[in-house]
Amino acid sequence: MTEPREDTRTHRGVVIPDNWPGYCLDLFTYPEYYSGDLDCVYIPHGVIMDRTERLARDIMDDLGDHDIAVLCVLKGGHQFCSDLVDRIQVLNRHSSRSLPMTVDFIRLKSYLNDHSMPDIQVIGAESLSVLAGKNVLIVEAIVDTGKTLQTVLTQVQACKPKLIKVAG
Protein backbone atom coordinates (compact mmCIF):
# COMPACT_ATOMS: atom_id res chain seq x y z
CA MET A 1 0.00 0.00 0.00
CA THR A 2 1.33 3.45 -0.86
CA GLU A 3 1.40 6.39 1.49
CA PRO A 4 -1.11 9.17 0.73
CA ARG A 5 0.46 12.21 -0.92
CA GLU A 6 0.59 15.38 1.07
CA ASP A 7 -1.71 18.12 -0.19
CA THR A 8 0.60 20.99 -1.16
CA ARG A 9 -2.07 23.58 -0.29
CA THR A 10 -1.84 22.58 3.37
CA HIS A 11 1.97 22.43 3.46
CA ARG A 12 3.66 24.70 6.01
CA GLY A 13 5.64 26.51 3.32
CA VAL A 14 9.36 27.17 3.50
CA VAL A 15 10.79 25.65 6.68
CA ILE A 16 14.17 26.81 7.94
CA PRO A 17 15.71 24.55 10.61
CA ASP A 18 16.90 26.25 13.81
CA ASN A 19 20.52 25.19 13.24
CA TRP A 20 20.73 26.25 9.57
CA PRO A 21 23.65 28.68 9.10
CA GLY A 22 22.05 30.61 6.22
CA TYR A 23 23.55 31.60 2.89
CA CYS A 24 27.07 33.00 2.74
CA LEU A 25 27.17 36.79 2.27
CA ASP A 26 29.54 36.34 -0.68
CA LEU A 27 26.53 35.20 -2.73
CA PHE A 28 24.76 38.57 -2.42
CA THR A 29 25.23 42.27 -2.91
CA TYR A 30 24.10 44.52 -0.09
CA PRO A 31 24.61 48.15 0.94
CA GLU A 32 28.03 48.93 2.40
CA TYR A 33 26.49 50.33 5.59
CA TYR A 34 25.37 46.77 6.51
CA SER A 35 28.96 45.54 6.33
CA GLY A 36 29.93 44.10 9.71
CA ASP A 37 26.29 43.86 10.85
CA LEU A 38 25.29 40.81 8.79
CA ASP A 39 26.43 37.24 9.31
CA CYS A 40 24.36 35.53 6.61
CA VAL A 41 21.17 35.70 4.54
CA TYR A 42 18.38 33.37 5.65
CA ILE A 43 15.77 34.11 2.99
CA PRO A 44 16.82 35.83 -0.24
CA HIS A 45 14.57 38.59 -1.58
CA GLY A 46 13.73 36.54 -4.69
CA VAL A 47 12.33 33.72 -2.56
CA ILE A 48 10.19 36.19 -0.61
CA MET A 49 8.84 37.72 -3.84
CA ASP A 50 8.16 34.26 -5.29
CA ARG A 51 6.19 33.26 -2.18
CA THR A 52 4.31 36.59 -2.35
CA GLU A 53 3.31 35.85 -5.94
CA ARG A 54 2.22 32.32 -4.95
CA LEU A 55 0.09 33.82 -2.18
CA ALA A 56 -1.44 36.29 -4.66
CA ARG A 57 -2.33 33.36 -6.96
CA ASP A 58 -3.87 31.47 -4.04
CA ILE A 59 -5.95 34.52 -3.11
CA MET A 60 -7.15 34.84 -6.71
CA ASP A 61 -8.06 31.12 -6.75
CA ASP A 62 -9.85 31.27 -3.39
CA LEU A 63 -11.87 34.40 -4.07
CA GLY A 64 -12.61 33.96 -7.77
CA ASP A 65 -14.38 37.04 -9.08
CA HIS A 66 -15.55 38.33 -5.69
CA ASP A 67 -14.34 41.76 -4.68
CA ILE A 68 -12.03 42.09 -1.71
CA ALA A 69 -11.29 44.75 0.88
CA VAL A 70 -7.61 44.59 1.83
CA LEU A 71 -6.94 45.80 5.37
CA CYS A 72 -3.25 46.56 5.90
CA VAL A 73 -1.95 46.65 9.47
CA LEU A 74 0.60 49.47 9.65
CA LYS A 75 3.44 50.13 10.01
CA GLY A 76 5.10 46.76 9.59
CA GLY A 77 2.66 45.36 7.03
CA HIS A 78 3.00 48.21 4.54
CA GLN A 79 5.72 46.78 2.27
CA PHE A 80 4.36 43.23 2.29
CA CYS A 81 0.85 44.55 1.60
CA SER A 82 2.13 46.73 -1.22
CA ASP A 83 4.00 43.82 -2.81
CA LEU A 84 1.01 41.49 -2.42
CA VAL A 85 -1.48 43.99 -3.90
CA ASP A 86 0.94 44.67 -6.78
CA ARG A 87 1.15 40.94 -7.54
CA ILE A 88 -2.66 40.60 -7.45
CA GLN A 89 -2.99 43.58 -9.81
CA VAL A 90 -0.48 42.03 -12.25
CA LEU A 91 -2.40 38.76 -12.16
CA ASN A 92 -5.64 40.69 -12.76
CA ARG A 93 -4.18 42.37 -15.85
CA HIS A 94 -3.08 39.03 -17.31
CA SER A 95 -6.23 37.09 -16.48
CA SER A 96 -9.62 36.64 -18.07
CA ARG A 97 -11.20 37.34 -14.69
CA SER A 98 -10.79 40.23 -12.31
CA LEU A 99 -10.61 40.64 -8.56
CA PRO A 100 -11.73 44.21 -7.69
CA MET A 101 -9.91 45.52 -4.62
CA THR A 102 -9.98 48.37 -2.18
CA VAL A 103 -7.18 48.97 0.33
CA ASP A 104 -7.61 50.48 3.79
CA PHE A 105 -5.15 50.91 6.64
CA ILE A 106 -5.22 50.59 10.41
CA ARG A 107 -2.50 50.94 12.98
CA LEU A 108 -2.13 49.16 16.28
CA LYS A 109 -0.68 50.76 19.36
CA SER A 110 0.43 48.42 22.13
CA TYR A 111 3.20 50.51 23.68
CA LEU A 112 3.23 53.83 25.51
CA ASN A 113 6.65 55.35 26.20
CA ASP A 114 8.42 52.00 25.66
CA HIS A 115 6.06 50.18 28.06
CA SER A 116 3.67 47.50 26.91
CA MET A 117 0.01 48.34 27.50
CA PRO A 118 -2.47 45.63 28.57
CA ASP A 119 -4.92 46.61 25.83
CA ILE A 120 -4.11 47.21 22.18
CA GLN A 121 -5.48 50.40 20.70
CA VAL A 122 -6.67 50.23 17.06
CA ILE A 123 -6.13 53.53 15.29
CA GLY A 124 -8.41 53.89 12.27
CA ALA A 125 -11.02 51.40 13.55
CA GLU A 126 -13.78 53.98 13.07
CA SER A 127 -13.56 53.45 9.31
CA LEU A 128 -13.96 49.65 9.53
CA SER A 129 -17.74 49.86 9.09
CA VAL A 130 -17.16 49.88 5.31
CA LEU A 131 -16.14 46.20 5.65
CA ALA A 132 -19.72 45.07 6.37
CA GLY A 133 -20.75 42.28 3.99
CA LYS A 134 -17.39 42.27 2.17
CA ASN A 135 -14.59 39.75 1.70
CA VAL A 136 -11.76 41.05 3.90
CA LEU A 137 -8.07 40.21 3.58
CA ILE A 138 -6.11 41.32 6.65
CA VAL A 139 -2.43 41.80 5.79
CA GLU A 140 -0.06 41.72 8.77
CA ALA A 141 3.74 41.69 8.60
CA ILE A 142 4.48 39.30 11.43
CA VAL A 143 2.12 37.11 13.42
CA ASP A 144 3.99 36.29 16.61
CA THR A 145 1.89 35.67 19.72
CA GLY A 146 -1.35 36.39 17.88
CA LYS A 147 -2.41 39.04 20.41
CA THR A 148 -2.50 41.93 17.93
CA LEU A 149 -4.08 39.78 15.22
CA GLN A 150 -6.82 38.67 17.63
CA THR A 151 -7.56 42.32 18.41
CA VAL A 152 -7.87 43.12 14.69
CA LEU A 153 -10.03 40.04 14.07
CA THR A 154 -12.39 41.05 16.89
CA GLN A 155 -12.73 44.58 15.48
CA VAL A 156 -13.29 43.32 11.91
CA GLN A 157 -15.75 40.58 12.95
CA ALA A 158 -17.84 43.21 14.75
CA CYS A 159 -18.43 44.82 11.33
CA LYS A 160 -20.00 41.58 10.04
CA PRO A 161 -17.93 40.97 6.90
CA LYS A 162 -18.87 38.21 4.47
CA LEU A 163 -15.47 36.49 4.77
CA ILE A 164 -12.15 37.12 6.55
CA LYS A 165 -8.76 35.81 5.44
CA VAL A 166 -5.35 36.67 6.90
CA ALA A 167 -2.01 36.97 5.11
CA GLY A 168 1.09 37.46 7.17
Structural domain contains residue 7: no
Structural domain contains residue 68: yes
List, for residues 30-73, the tens digit of each pLDDT value. Answer: 889 998 899 999 888 888 899 999 999 998 888 766 788 999 98
Report the domain count for the chain: 1
Write down the pLDDT at residue 118: 67
Structural domain contains residue 49: yes
Highest mean pLDDT among 7-21, 103-117, 121-135: 121-135
**Of 115, 105, 108, 67, nearest in space to 88 by CA:** 67
6, pLDDT greater than 70: no
85, pLDDT greater than 90: yes
Structural domain contains residue 6: no
77, pLDDT greater than 60: yes
Write down the pLDDT at residue 82: 94
* Active site positions, annotated: 144
Look up the domain containing 142 and give its range.
Answer: 22-167
Lowest mean pLDDT among 14-18, 95-99, 141-145, 152-156: 141-145
Structural domain contains residue 2: no
- In terms of Cβ atoms closer than 10 Å to its own Cβ (0-12, 13-18, 19+), residue 13 is exposed
Write down the pLDDT at residue 130: 85
Structural domain contains residue 14: no
Q: Give the pLDDT band of residue 17 (cuts 50, 70, 90).
A: confident
The rounded distance, in Å, linking the Cα atoms of 86 and 155 is 26
Structural domain contains residue 17: no
Q: Across residues 142-146, what is the average pLDDT?
A: 69
Q: Is the dihedral of CA 64, 65, 69, 72 positive or negative?
A: positive
Structural domain contains residue 10: no
The model's pTM: 0.76
Helix (H) or strand (E) holding 139: strand 135-139
The rounded distance, in Å, linking the Cα atoms of 109 and 94 is 39
pLDDT higher for 51 or 3? Answer: 51
Write down the pLDDT at residue 60: 85
At 84, which CATH number?
Answer: 3.40.50.2020
27, pLDDT greater than 90: yes
Write down the pLDDT at residue 116: 67
2, pLDDT greater than 60: no
